[in-house]
Each structure stands twice: as structure tokens, then as C-alpha cells.
Amino acid sequence: MDIIDPEKLKELEELSGGTKDLLKTLLDKYIVNAGSFVEQIRNALKNKDNEKILFAVHTLKGSSLSLGLIILGNKFTELNANAKQGDFNGFESAMNEVDVLLKEVEAYRKSLG
């Protein structure tokens, strides 16, 4: 499966006049912000700050899905549902999966030039 939904990719290209400029800008911002939120989640897990975890996961869910990063969006949707129920078991391994997926997003972004 592609790291970004082909339909969303087409939509973003149309919005930027057939170029990938808008996509590049959005991915640059996403990568920086996602890294910050992932760090917040890890710190909040250590400190057992459930509110911060829920806020960060919810934010990443929305931004991932709005960019068409379906795999990441689905992962954050799952984590969001678990966090709402106070279930943080497996969060650390899930965040390791997120790290791998974020590296894929970074590689994709670099491939755009």
C-alpha cells in the first residue's frame, strides 16, 4: 500500500496547479509536527499523563488522515480509541511502528525533490 492515498495525492496536485509544491510544503510541516507529537507521547507515557497522550494521538490522527497518510491515520485512530478507554498497553510497540511509518513518509518526501 502507498504511504499516501493516490486520490489525496491527485487532489493536492490539482490544488497546486499540477505540481507537487503544496504536497511538499504540507509534508514538511507534518514531519516536523509529527516528530514533536511523537516525542510528547513518549514523554507522556513515561509520566503516565493520559490527557497529553490522548491530545497528541488525536491530533496526529486528524493530520495524518487529512494528508491522505492512511496507514498512519489508521494507526493513530486505533491508538486514539485505546487511549479514550484508558488502555495504554502496547503503546510503546505501536510508537515503534509509527517511527517506521514516519521514516517512510520522510523518504517519500525526499523522493519529491
In terms of C-beta density within 10 A (0-12 exposed, 13-18 middle, 19 or more buried), how is residue 50 classed? middle
Q: Indicate yes or no: pTM above 0.85.
A: yes
- Asked, for residue 1, whether it belongs to a domain, the answer is no
Give pLDDT tens digits for 63-100.
999 999 999 999 999 999 999 998 988 999 999 999 99
**pLDDT for residue 2:** 86
Domain that holds residue 64: 6-108
Q: What angle do CA 7, 96, 9 make, to 5 degrees?
A: 10
Here the CATH number for the domain that contains residue 104 is 1.20.120
Cell of 37: 507529537
Half-sphere exposure of residue 22: CA atoms within 13 angstroms, side-chain side: 13
Do 65 and 101 contact (CB within 8 A), yes or no?
no
- Asked, for residue 100, whether it belongs to a domain, the answer is yes
